Structures are given as structure tokens and as C-alpha cells.
Structure 1
Amino acid sequence: MSIKRSLLSVPLRFGYVMMFFFLLLGSGVMAANPEVSDSEEAISAGKSIFNSNCKACHRLDQNNVGPALRGVTERRTLDWATKFIRNSQALIASGDADAVALYNQWNQTLMPAHEFLSDDDVMNLLAYIEYGDKAEAVAATGDGGGAVAAGGAGVPSEYLTIILAVLVIVLLLILIVLGLIISILTKYLGTQNLEEDDKEFINQRFNFSKLVKSDAFVLIVTALVVALVAKTAIDGLYSVGIQQGYAPTQPIAFSHALHAGQYEIECQYCHTGVELGKSANIPSANICMNCHMHIQNVGGQDGMSPEIAKIYAAVEENKPIEWVRIHNLPDLAYFNHAQHVVVGGIECQTCHGPIEEMEVVYQHSTLTMGWCIDCHRQTDIKAQGNEYYDKLVQLHSGSKGSLKVKDIGGLECSKCHY
């Protein structure tokens, strides 16, 4: 009987041990909530929701405006996480201890409500938070340092400048050495018994005035001047209507380097039409207020920043911000952003340059007809997994080499001109 009693008590004691073990370890090592899916579909859908609604303030594995999010379902219950995502302000107002603690820890910054998210949307978002972009987690812990160093193995621009400078110095030294050799040889030959013609050739002096007055010199200089004038005139004609480098002063000093670079806000968050139609849309003040309802200063200064105050003034006066258009195409040219971004899979930087590095936005590319045609000649069609191109791929199945834009009518006049 005693043996049976001791055997029956084993599971109970084992349960106590395991409970004590998990209490000691805490939530940091527990597995993510099993209700959160780790499927590719859920992670992909969650990434889209995260980029549209969360990326301005949060990162998965690093603190930003708000805390790092990965592991939230380990630290909190699924029900709590759902309530906080949908309406954190209501949860804080209810007196929830965890919500109030987070609110105070992060400078009492309020998170916008997301009550429009369905249950599936929230679960997909949590799937991405827990399982998406694991490479970022490696980089955040420092384990990816070797890969980053290897990926950046190239010759820095300053090294190229040094190499060019050294080459120029070497060429100058070679010229000096050749001059010394000629001088030494001339002096040596001058001591030898040479014929008069040879001595005259060796001792001859350079006559600059005679060179300038020669017909050949005049002809060469005239040809160079004519060529320079002609090239300048042609370049001037070709530059008519080209605004490359144009960087006007905007009514608000908006920094793309800060928003798109440091905070990694997606272009589509502000330029809402880029995936829907021809125009990318200039963002309204209401879009700015999505974030600046809660962020009212920059750099830790007291009070509202002057530039942010202009956004508030535009909203209060119900007047649009009069942004100055930078990228202009002639009226006779048709360009559709959705066709290039959604169907073609073209990155914004392809045409607009390193926009995430620009403190003041400028026109990076020439945007000329020749520039567009060259792109259509060289760009491969991204047909894999793209239903839009299925029939076109079938029609060009016999083509040799990769399918380019020019092969599907990309050079036809009517594609870009009405």
C-alpha cells in the first residue's frame, strides 16, 4: 500500500516541480502562444498590417518610439494583447496595471486605436510579430555582425579617391624622371664629338611664339572652340525642361531621412495612391496627424516644434498644406504609378533615388523620354508568381533570353503618349 501511494504521488510531485521551474524562468523563455499561427500566409498578411499601422513607432526586436514587440504573447495573455492593439487608451483608462505601466514607461505616449482590425487581422499581426523577419532578431543581438561585414565588402569611395590621387602622383613622378633623363642625355651628348646638324638638333630651344603663329596651331584651337560652343549649345537644348537636382523649399521642413530612413515609414503610408492609380498622392495633414497627435516635439525640446505647429494650424484652419511639386512630367506623357509599383514590382528608389537619405527631397533622375526608354529596354519582366503576365509569358514562350519590358510593347509610342 505504501508503495502504491508513493507511485501515485510521483505525477503530482513532478507537476509541482515543473510549475516551480516555469515560475523561476519567467515568461521570457516560454514558447509563443500556440494559438498564434506560424504559417507563411499569416506572417505575410501580418507584415502588411504591421507596415501600414505599426512600423512608424515599433520594431520587432529593438526599442523605437515604442517598445520592441516580439515576444508580446509570451509576456501577456492573448486577450490582453488584442485589447491593447485595438484600443490601448481604453485599456489604460480602465486602470489596467500593465497598460498603465507601459504608458508611463514610454513617456505617456498614446498609441492610436485600431478598432477596425478584425480578429483575423489581429492574429495575423501577432503571427508576424512572433515569427516574422527572424533575420532582424539575429542582427539585433549582434550575431549577424559577420554577415553584415561580409555583405559590405567593397571599396569605400574615400579609398578610391586616395587610389586616384596616388596614381596622379605616380604619373607626375614619371614625367619628372623622364625630364631628368632627357636633361642628362642632352648634357652627355653635348660633350661628344657630333656633327653640326646633330648639335643643332640637340641644342635647339622651344619657340612658343612661333608655335602660336603656326597655321596648324590656329586650326586646332579654332576647331576646339567651335566644338566646345557646339557641344554647349546642344547640351543646353537637351536640358530644356529637365529639372534634375531640383529641390524647392517646402512650406514645412519635412525630413524623409528622419521619417523614411530612421523610422522606416513605408512610402505607401503617406503616398496612398501609389498602389491604386496614376498619381502617388501628396499626403494630407490628416495623415500627418495620425502620428503627430502623439508626437508634438522633436529632439526633446519643450513645447510643440514650430514645423509640427504648422500641421496643427493647417488642420485647425481646414486648409491644405501647399507642398511644392518636385517631379513633373509634361502633359503629353502618361505615367501610372500603380502599373509600375504593383504590377511591375518597381521600388520607389529606382526613379526617385535614395529618398530615405534625403533631408531635402530633390529630383534624382532626369525623367526624360530617353531615360524611360533605356529602362524599358533593360528591365526584366517580373513574371514569376505574377498572374498579370501569365498570358504574355505564354505568347513569348519561344523567346530567347529573359523577357524585357520592350518585348511586351514598352517602346510603343501610345503606351506613354495619348
Structure 2
Amino acid sequence: MKRLKIVALTAVLGFFAATVNVNAQDVAEGEQIFKNNCAACHNTSDETLVGPGLKGIGERRPLDWIVKWVHNPQAVIASGDKYANDLFKKFNQAQMTAYPNYSEDQIKSVIAYIDAQAAPAAPVAGEGGAVATTPAEGSSNGGMMQYILVALLGVMILVLVALLSIVSSLSKLASVDPNSDEAKNVPFFQKIAENGKKLAANSAFKTGAALLITLLIGKATIDTAYGVGIHQGYAPEQPIQFSHKLHAGQYEINCNYCHTGVYKGKGANIPSANICMNCHNVIKRESPEIQKIYRSLENDEPIQWVRVHNLPDLAYFNHSQHTNVGGLECTNCHGEINKMEVVEQRSSLTMGWCIDCHRKTEVNTKDNAYYDKLVELHNKENKEPLKVQNIGGLECSKCHY
């Protein structure tokens, strides 16, 4: 069983601010490294998570010491270094992961990111391959609904004509002198019944009523058909009560830490129990929910997580193409996961929903030579920005074989 990952890179990273030449690229690279490897155990503030908070850590240790620690923390501890041993004991002698492949420049970039987080907040330009947009729900059947609404309007006109006929009949009935022989000889309810029969015999009323009933049944059928396979709002009970609000929200653990394929694979991957134990080998071991993980490992039985987001087999979807190449955030499709106690499917994930996103989403071609010629050709005939639909985003074969 793996020991807890106290990520040393962030536990001791930092050096005197005067020695760091910070630029936007350093911060961006450092942010990616930090979120993918460090955020599970450390905050950039003073708050202790699994490991210590990192705000002001640069004033505590010099850069050369940090590099040695990151590359081989156990060697630094074995050397008798007081600071390293005090840190090791403070956090219950939890082992950390060594990162010998990180260069000094990469370590500096993480430090730059930590320092930037401690600085006053400023607007930061987003990165990635696409400008995120939220497609409108229900766009797939919008055209059909327009036709239905027009038809309903016609039916309402026919019903209005029938109602006017009823009013005319009632007006005639009211105009009869109640003292006349005609009024005295015909009971009130009989008069209503007679007028009802006349209304039922009215061809305009019968046609309108038949059309209205037919359209209502048709609309209900279409709505039901469009709802087949759509599980928007689906929030099944899981075998272990895992809170994304706590882990991804409060502790700001990057999605990639648990879902290891989200940036580099076709699927995001369901985290294994061993990933959970990186933290829970030490944290909240007595919790009944955590004990379920222990039992799973002891019995060598996988946790039977219930899938929430599920596309049909006929549709091809690649996570890395959207998150890594396209630069989309998880919230674009999954909603505000960091605020969910129980994960639910927020988007419809229908074909129309995806196509609508491809029609609206602009491709970020900045500093990407791959798109230069394509952008040049696109701008000759179109004044609109280059969008996903312009690079094959609406081709059937992109998602269906």
C-alpha cells in the first residue's frame, strides 16, 4: 500500500523573492505543475492541508536546498539536516515523493506561481485552445418546437372561432324574453344541453378540438422520444459518500490528481483505491466511509462506483482533445463539480448540445503555428472568428464511425 504523498516540491519550495525573475510563462508552467502534483496536499496560503501551507516559504529556505530536497528528500533527511527532520517529524514521518526529473527552472516556475498567488489578485488571461462557451440546453429540438408552436397557434384560432360561436348562441338565449311562452316552456338546463349539441355539431369546433388533442399527444410523444437516453439531473447514490465539494472545492485538489487520464487519455479514468490511500493512509482512518476503502483493498475487490456521465456507444468522445488541445475546463460540461456534495449530470450531453458548442466555440490560435495557414484562408472569406465548426467540428465522422 502506498504511503501518503507529502509532495516535497511544494512543502519546501521557495526562495528569496529578489532572486526570482518572474514572468507570465513561468507562472503558467508552475501552476500546471503545482495543480497536477502538489495541490492534493498543500495550499499556497498559510493554511495547512495534508502538508504545510506555502505562503512565504521562500523566506525560509534557499534555492539550492530546495532543489536537493525535491530531487531526493530522504537523502536530505538522512544527512541530519535539522529543518528537514523537524518537518518530517511534524507530519508524522509521512513519506513524500521524490521528483528527480524536475529541473531547477521548473522548480523556479512553481515558486513563481506560489508567490503570484500571495500577491494581490489581478485579471489573468486564460489559456487553452478554445474560448469556453455554454451551449444552450434543448437546442437540438428547437426547430421542431417552433413548428409545433405555430400549429398550436392555428388551433387556438380555430378554438377562438368556436368560442365566439358559443357566445353568439348564449347571447341569443339571453335575448329571449323570460316571460314568453318559449322561455317558460323550455327548462334552463335543457337550453344549455341544446346549445351544447349545436356546439358539438359545429364542424369548426370539432376540427379544432381534434387538432388540439392530436398536437398535444404528438408533443408529448416527441418530448418523450427526445428524452430517451438523456439523464440530465441524474445523481445516483455511490457506494462511498465522496464529497467533491470538500476535495475539489475546499481543498482545491486538481481533477487530474484522481482522474489521471483527464488531460492525456480518451477517458478521464475512475480513481483506484490506491489513489485514495495516498492521503487516507493517514487522514481520517477511523471514518466508516474510509473503512470501506480499506475493506476493498484487503479483499482485493474494486469499488463499484456508479457511472454518472455516460455517452452511447455510437458516439466517440476524447477527453484530452477537449481538455488538453481545446483547453476547456471541466465545468464546461460537468458543471460546478467543486460545489457538489453528490455529483450529478448537469448538461444534457445530447448531440445537439455538442453541435451547438462547436458552432459557438472559438478556436484559440494564438501562438500556434499549426493554425496560421488555416486562419489566413479562413479570414479571406469570413469576418467571423475561426470556430470549431470551421475545422471539421460538424462532420459526422468526427464523432461517429
Normalised to the residue count of structure 2, the TM-score between the two structures is 0.68
What residue identity is the alignment partner of 1:304?
E
Structure 2 equivalent of residue 110 of structure 1: 94
Superposed displacement of residue 324, structure 1: 1.7
Matches within 5 A, 1:246-285: 246-285=234-273
More displaced, 65-74 or 89-98?
89-98
Structure 2 equivalent of residue 190 of structure 1: none
SS at match of 1:51: helix
| Aligned residues of 1:380 and 1:404 also touching (Cα < 8 A) | yes
Please give the per-residue CA displacement for 1:70-93, whole angstroms capped at 9, x wherever unaligned: 321212333444455456666567
RMSD of aligned C-alpha atoms?
3.5
Superposed displacement of residue 332, structure 1: 1.2
CA distance in structure 2 between the aligned counterparts of 1:52 and 1:311, rounded to whole angstroms: 23
CA distance in structure 2 between the aligned counterparts of 1:391 and 1:134, rounded to whole angstroms: 40
| Aligned residues of 1:33 and 1:73 also touching (Cα < 8 A) | yes
CA distance in structure 2 between the aligned counterparts of 1:400 and 1:74, rounded to whole angstroms: 52
Q: CA 1:64–1:226 in structure 2 vs 1: closer, same or farther (change >3 Å)?
A: farther
Please give the per-residue CA displacement for 1:205-254, whole angstroms capped at 9, x wherever unaligned: xx998997744887766654443322211111111111111222222211
Please give the per-residue CA displacement for 1:176-195, whole angstroms capped at 9, x wherever unaligned: xxxxxxxxxxxxxxxxxxxx
Q: CA 1:368–1:208 in structure 2 vs 1: closer, same or farther (change >3 Å)?
A: farther
More displaced, 113-122 or 366-375?
113-122
Q: Choose which of 216, 236, 253 in structure 2 pairs with 1:228.
A: 216
CA distance in structure 2 between the aligned counterparts of 1:72 and 1:305, rounded to whole angstroms: 32
CA distance in structure 1 between the aligned counterparts of 2:192 and 2:357, rounded to whole angstroms: 51
Identity of aligned residues (%): 52
| Aligned residues of 2:71 and 2:102 also touching (Cα < 8 A) | no
Structure with max Cα Rg:
1
Structure 2 equivalent of residue 3 of structure 1: none
Q: Choose which of 278, 286, 290 in structure 1 pairs with 2:274.
A: 286
Q: CA 1:409–1:41 in structure 2 vs 1: closer, same or farther (change >3 Å)?
A: closer
| Aligned residues of 1:109 and 1:294 also touching (Cα < 8 A) | no
What residue identity is the alignment partner of 2:62?
T
Runs of at least 5 residues in structure 2 that lack an aligned partner in the other structure: 1-14, 124-174, 179-190
**Residue 324 (structure 1) aligned with residue 309 (structure 2):** no
Superposed displacement of residue 314, structure 1: 2.8
| Aligned residues of 2:45 and 2:118 also touching (Cα < 8 A) | no
Structure 2 equivalent of residue 404 of structure 1: 387
Q: Choose which of 271, 283, 286 in structure 2 pairs with 1:304.
A: 286
Normalised to the residue count of structure 1, the TM-score between the two structures is 0.66
What residue identity is the alignment partner of 1:412?
E
**Residue 382 (structure 1) aligned with residue 382 (structure 2):** no
Structure 2 equivalent of residue 237 of structure 1: 225
Q: CA 1:118–1:343 in structure 2 vs 1: closer, same or farther (change >3 Å)?
A: closer
What residue identity is the alignment partner of 1:405?
V
Please give the per-residue CA displacement for 1:306-338, whole angstroms capped at 9, x wherever unaligned: 222222333334433222221111111111111
What residue identity is the alignment partner of 2:349?
L
CA distance in structure 2 between the aligned counterparts of 1:211 and 1:76, rounded to whole angstroms: 97
Runs of at least 5 residues in structure 1 that lack an aligned partner in the other structure: 1-30, 139-196, 201-206, 298-302
The answer to which structure has the higher helix fraction is 1
What residue identity is the alignment partner of 1:347?
E
Q: CA 1:409–1:208 in structure 2 vs 1: closer, same or farther (change >3 Å)?
A: farther
CA distance in structure 2 between the aligned counterparts of 1:130 and 1:77, rounded to whole angstroms: 15
**Residue 413 (structure 1) aligned with residue 401 (structure 2):** no
Highest RCO, 1 vs 2 (Cα 8 Å, sep ≥ 6): 2
Please give the per-residue CA displacement for 1:148-175, whole angstroms capped at 9, x wherever unaligned: xxxxxxxxxxxxxxxxxxxxxxxxxxxx
Structure 2 equivalent of residue 38 of structure 1: 22
Superposed displacement of residue 35, structure 1: 4.2
Superposed displacement of residue 290, structure 1: 2.2
CA distance in structure 2 between the aligned counterparts of 1:286 and 1:116, rounded to whole angstroms: 23
**Residue 315 (structure 1) aligned with residue 297 (structure 2):** yes
Number of residues of Structure 1 aligned to a counterpart in Structure 2: 320
CA distance in structure 1 between the aligned counterparts of 2:398 and 2:374, rounded to whole angstroms: 16
SS at match of 2:120: helix
